[in-house]
Structure 1
Amino acid sequence: MGIIFKQSLKNTLIIYLGFLIGGINTIFLYTRFLKDDYYGLVTYVLSSSNLIMPFTALGIHFTIVKFFSSYKTKEEKDKFLSSVILLPLVIALIMGYFWNYFHNWIMAFVSKENTIVENYTIYIYSIAVSCAYFEVFYSWAKVQMQSVFGNLLKELYNRAAVTILLFAVYFNWITKQEFISFLSYAYILRTIIMMLYALKLYLPKFYFSLPENYGEIMRYTLYIILAGSASAIILDIDKFMIAGKDTFDKAAYYSVAVFIGSFIEAPSRAMTQILQPLTSKSINENNSSEVENLYKKSSINLLLVGGLFFILINCNVSELFKIMPKGYAGGELVVLMISAAKLFTMALGNNGAIINNSQFYRITLFTGAGMAILVWVLNKYFYYNLNYGTEGLAFATFLSFIIFGIFKVWYVDAKLHMFPFTKQTLHMTLIIVLLYLSFNYWDFNVGNVELFNFSVSPIINIILKSSIITLLYIYIVYKMKISDQINNLMARFL
């Protein structure tokens, strides 16, 4: 786990810095510089592109991780890369040719109040294609065991670009209408940078011949399309469906709550970058003991780290909403359900990587499609039929994550006889629940403190409460020896 911790630590720092910048964008800049309706429009464009991206990428980014380490010679590796690199381009060209039909399909799903999106659907296409090829070249770098730079571009670059563009709007250098077009250019530039870096790490000799196992590669690619993107797709379906019933400002409010709830998954995203190729390598070498070892360790470590942020976020979310415009308040229940769904997913460890890289990868198509269909049906029921609002969307998401998460744990156990949970999992769950219940229902009585006509009382409250929670949490998990890796890391630090 040494290489995992080394790169995961760097990736975690990058991701949390990205989340910090994203939090500033979400809580302060978007809500004040772009306003609710255009923020909702940006959310809709990005969510729609995220829904299209997996089908554009065609699962090639997972295919590279799966097969690259199985080839022994450079010629075999080069033939493999040559055979898969152009497939997303073919899909993108076909999609571009028929984009008028996709445009009309998108417009059929938005309400009359949101027809403004009609002028922006082309950016859905450009962002989807650029993100697809970014993921392809990011995987190209990850199989060289170099995930940090790509993670920097994925997690930090976008949010920094948004910050710059929001200030450009504020200073009237660009208009609100131009914001999305400049944002799409930033995505395209990011893909070009990632491509140059990947080719610098490994420059293949391009062949016009196919690898011997090309049939197996294509079967895997078609089955794996939704793998790894299912959880993101579910949240994007939520935002996509809001525009069919309510105005874009509702999508903005929901996006903020989802962002806050999703904050806890940063360690998972960091560790996954290096766990995917390591898991693939261990499976290709038939090293089942190492796969199981990675499974159990990643599960408890992610639950431990994610649990801390789950408590911090949900115990402070009411104070956090106080420093935002009034329209964004009232999303506490959404944050709780989204963060709980994310925490459960983190507790599964590298379950997804095991399934994706094993001989049972075909199930990913059915689980990914099943999650998408289930959340669509539940959203229709809770949001459209019962009018439960965004809490209904969050509950539908929560149920989908839990149901299919349990299924995937059962599936790996049934097929590979590997189970991620231990008695430490139970101990860790009890710690999280007890600390959440202990700190959620009270706050410090700070009083009203203002700085430059801005109330900083909620910020002071968050800092004081978070400090106590963090120290107590670290002390408990260290004394109870929940994770050997975390204890060793803390011992070296201390």
Structure 2
Amino acid sequence: MGIVIKQSIKNTIITFIGFGIGAVNTLFMYPYFLGEDYFGLSGYVLSAANILYPIMSFGIQNTLIKFFNENNKTEHELNSYITYMLLIPLVFIIPLTGLFYFNYDTIAAYESQKNPIIYSFVWVIPLIAIFMGYFEIFYAWLRAHMQSVFGSFVKEVFVRLLISVLLFGVYFKYITPLEFIYSLVFVYGMSLLLIVFYANKIKRIVLRFKVPKQSKAIWTYTIFIILSASIANMLLDIDKYMIKHYMDIDNIAFYSVAIFIAMVISVPSRAMHQITYPITAKLMSEQKWEELNELYKKTSITLQVIGGLILVGILVNINQLYLLLPKEYSQGLFVVFTIGLSKYFDLILGNNNAIIFNSKYYKAVLSLGIVLVLLIVLLNMYFIPHFGLNGAAFATLIAITLYSLAKLLFVVLRMKLFPFTYKTIVALGVVLISFFAFYYWDFSFHPMLNIICKSILVSIFYLGLCHVLKISSDINFVMRSIFNKVFKKQ
């Protein structure tokens, strides 16, 4: 777990910095600099791009890692392999782009039925999706070489910094809100160029046009994994995409703020996943099942402890946090609780997704995912018109919980791997105790000072309990290392 701990800590720090910048953007700059309509529009554009990019990348980022260890015996084989990975998405991108170009008016008219402001910006979506897709492919190349930190920096920090610069540009009237939306293409284009440069620096990419070994297996896996990846992204973003069909576009702004707050819970998982995914693929290719099961348990409890602290920190401070925002944004309060719970459940499954995607059973999970996508679409079609933003959140909670539970049962029953121990129950108890101990009272300070004070107290109480109860050996190791360094400096 040494490399996992080291790079996961770095990725977590980078991701938290990125989310910190994102928090300033989402909670302050977007609402006050851009306004509700253009905030909602940017949320729609990025959500649609997130849904589309797994199709644009053809799921190659996952394929690249799965077959990497089987196609890197020589330098020539490795060059052929990466060339093949870069060319496959073009088989889909080229005809899809042509179809989109010649049918733009029809597509844009459909997308802008409820909100006409969308019409002129639909063309931005596929461009951003292509940049996102190829970014993930080069990021996978770095992860396959156990170099995930720089990619995390570009994805989590660099992109948000550029967006901050553009938002300041709107505030100081250097650019208009319309130009800001168009500039999102520039932001994701720059991130792609940067990751290409660094990936080539880590391991020089030489294009060699030769079909690699196992090309049939690669295509079979890719076709299934693109659908699985698309399903996962749809579960995350379909609600924001569908809101604009039933409600005014400014509601996407309110919903996006609530989703952003809740998504902070998934930061540790996103950070750890960058390094555990290739390790999981390697262990499975070498059939080291005992080591894999140990990794499964460790990632589960470690993420549960860290994610539990973030969940409690958000929920006990949520009322004060919404006092810092314009009043109309408070309608997303229930959304934070609902999505937060779904992300916490998904978090405690550890590297469950990596195990499924790298197993021989990945095809079987696909049919389940398709059913759940249909379910969430139907749920949103019913709940959004009847319950608004709360309905969208509830539909997402149901779909993500069912999908996560199904994947867990599949790994447990089919592969005889189990992520939970008695410490899982103990960690859940610590979350509940911490929540009820801190939720029902506040200091009589300014909301920001209140949040800071309560966060410090919650962290000390929560981590103290976790340390005493020895819930996670990895967390305790990190805490002891920090204490020892601080003590030695003194």
TM-score by length of 1: 0.95
- Distance across 1 between alignment mates of 2:105 and 2:418: 45
- Distance across 1 between alignment mates of 2:238 and 2:40: 14
Alignment size in residue pairs: 481
Partner residue, 2:288:
287
Unaligned runs of 5+ in 2: 484-490
Q: CA RMSD in A?
A: 1.4
Alpha-carbon distance, 1:108 to partner: 1.6
Partner residue, 2:453:
464
Alpha-carbon distance, 1:477 to partner: 0.3
Partner residue, 1:105:
107
Deviates more, 1:290-299 or 1:66-75: 66-75
Partner residue, 2:488:
none
- Distance across 2 between alignment mates of 1:157 and 1:299: 29
Q: Amino acid of the residue matched to residue 245 of structure 1?
A: Y
Partner residue, 2:18:
18
Query: Is structure 2 residue 476 aligned with structure 1 residue 482?
Result: no
Aligned ranges 1:302-317 → 2 under 5 Å: 302-317=303-318
Counterparts in 2 of 1:438 and 1:111: CA distance versus 1, 3 Å: farther
Partner residue, 1:157:
158
Partner residue, 1:449:
none
Query: Is structure 2 residue 78 aligned with structure 1 residue 77?
Result: yes
Alpha-carbon distance, 1:142 to partner: 0.7
Query: Is structure 2 residue 257 aligned with structure 1 residue 256?
Result: yes
Does the residue aligned with 1:388 lie in a helix, a strand or coil?
Answer: helix
Counterparts in 2 of 1:443 and 1:231: CA distance versus 1, 3 Å: farther
Counterparts in 2 of 1:445 and 1:231: CA distance versus 1, 3 Å: farther
Unaligned runs of 5+ in 1: 447-456
Partner residue, 2:201:
200
Q: Does the CA-based 8 Å contact 1:7-1:274 persist in structure 2?
A: yes
Partner residue, 1:93:
94
Q: Amino acid of the residue matched to residue 82 of structure 1?
A: T
Q: Does the CA-based 8 Å contact 1:8-1:271 persist in structure 2?
A: yes
For 1:389-415, what per-residue CA distance to the aligned partner results, in whole angstroms no more than 9, with x for missing partners?
Answer: 111111111111111111111101111
Q: Amino acid of the residue matched to residue 367 of structure 2?
A: F
Q: Does the CA-based 8 Å contact 2:57-2:89 persist in structure 1?
A: yes
- Distance across 1 between alignment mates of 2:173 and 2:380: 39
Q: Which of 462, 466, 469 is equivalent to 1:473?
A: 462
- Distance across 1 between alignment mates of 2:219 and 2:13: 36
Q: Does the CA-based 8 Å contact 2:111-2:118 persist in structure 1?
A: no
Partner residue, 1:438:
437
Alpha-carbon distance, 1:226 to partner: 3.8
Counterparts in 2 of 1:232 and 1:103: CA distance versus 1, 3 Å: farther
Aligned ranges 1:34-49 → 2 under 5 Å: 34-49=34-49
Counterparts in 2 of 1:94 and 1:389: CA distance versus 1, 3 Å: same
Alpha-carbon distance, 1:75 to partner: 2.7
Counterparts in 2 of 1:234 and 1:61: CA distance versus 1, 3 Å: same
Alpha-carbon distance, 1:228 to partner: 4.7
Q: Amino acid of the residue matched to residue 271 of structure 2?
A: A
Alpha-carbon distance, 1:460 to partner: 1.4
Alpha-carbon distance, 1:73 to partner: 2.6
- Distance across 2 between alignment mates of 1:115 and 1:399: 31
Counterparts in 2 of 1:106 and 1:301: CA distance versus 1, 3 Å: farther
Alpha-carbon distance, 1:96 to partner: 1.3
Identity between Structure 1 and Structure 2 (%): 39
Q: Amino acid of the residue matched to residue 464 of structure 2?
A: Y
Partner residue, 1:2:
2
Q: Does the CA-based 8 Å contact 1:111-1:246 persist in structure 2?
A: no
Partner residue, 1:58:
58
Partner residue, 1:374:
375
Aligned ranges 1:19-418 → 2 under 5 Å: 19-71=19-71, 72-99=73-100, 100-101=102-103, 104-105=106-107, 107-112=109-114, 114-228=115-229, 230-384=231-385, 387-418=386-417
For 1:178-217, what per-residue CA distance to the aligned partner results, in whole angstroms no more than 9, with x for missing partners?
Answer: 0011121111111111112112222244333212310000
Q: Amino acid of the residue matched to residue 395 of structure 1?
A: F
Q: Amino acid of the residue matched to residue 276 of structure 1?
A: Y
Deviates more, 1:185-194 or 1:224-233: 224-233
For 1:77-112, what per-residue CA distance to the aligned partner results, in whole angstroms no more than 9, with x for missing partners?
Answer: 222222221122232221110114366235324433
Q: Amino acid of the residue matched to residue 467 of structure 2?
A: Y
Q: Amino acid of the residue matched to residue 57 of structure 1?
A: S
Alpha-carbon distance, 1:435 to partner: 1.6
- Distance across 2 between alignment mates of 1:155 and 1:103: 34
4+ long deviations beyond 4 Å:
none
Counterparts in 2 of 1:119 and 1:109: CA distance versus 1, 3 Å: closer
Q: Does the CA-based 8 Å contact 1:322-1:458 persist in structure 2?
A: yes
- Distance across 2 between alignment mates of 1:205 and 1:354: 31
Counterparts in 2 of 1:375 and 1:464: CA distance versus 1, 3 Å: same
- Distance across 1 between alignment mates of 2:293 and 2:226: 25
TM-score by length of 2: 0.95
Counterparts in 2 of 1:117 and 1:145: CA distance versus 1, 3 Å: same
Q: Amino acid of the residue matched to residue 110 of structure 2?
A: A
Q: Does the CA-based 8 Å contact 2:108-2:118 persist in structure 1?
A: no
- Distance across 2 between alignment mates of 1:433 and 1:96: 50
Alpha-carbon distance, 1:276 to partner: 0.5
Deviates more, 1:375-384 or 1:341-350: 375-384
Counterparts in 2 of 1:236 and 1:107: CA distance versus 1, 3 Å: farther
Alpha-carbon distance, 1:227 to partner: 3.6
- Distance across 2 between alignment mates of 1:350 and 1:369: 21
Does the residue aligned with 2:418 lie in a helix, a strand or coil?
Answer: coil
Alpha-carbon distance, 1:283 to partner: 0.7
Deviates more, 1:324-333 or 1:416-425: 324-333
- Distance across 2 between alignment mates of 1:166 and 1:136: 28
Counterparts in 2 of 1:33 and 1:375: CA distance versus 1, 3 Å: same
Deviates more, 1:326-335 or 1:224-233: 224-233
Does the residue aligned with 2:35 lie in a helix, a strand or coil?
Answer: helix
- Distance across 2 between alignment mates of 1:218 and 1:124: 26
Q: Does the CA-based 8 Å contact 1:161-1:186 persist in structure 2?
A: yes
Q: Does the CA-based 8 Å contact 2:304-2:348 persist in structure 1?
A: yes
Q: Amino acid of the residue matched to residue 429 of structure 1?
A: L
Q: Amino acid of the residue matched to residue 473 of structure 1?
A: Y
- Distance across 2 between alignment mates of 1:152 and 1:403: 32
Alpha-carbon distance, 1:366 to partner: 2.5
Counterparts in 2 of 1:472 and 1:49: CA distance versus 1, 3 Å: same
Counterparts in 2 of 1:6 and 1:468: CA distance versus 1, 3 Å: same
For 1:49-86, what per-residue CA distance to the aligned partner results, in whole angstroms no more than 9, with x for missing partners?
Answer: 11111111111000001000123333332222222211
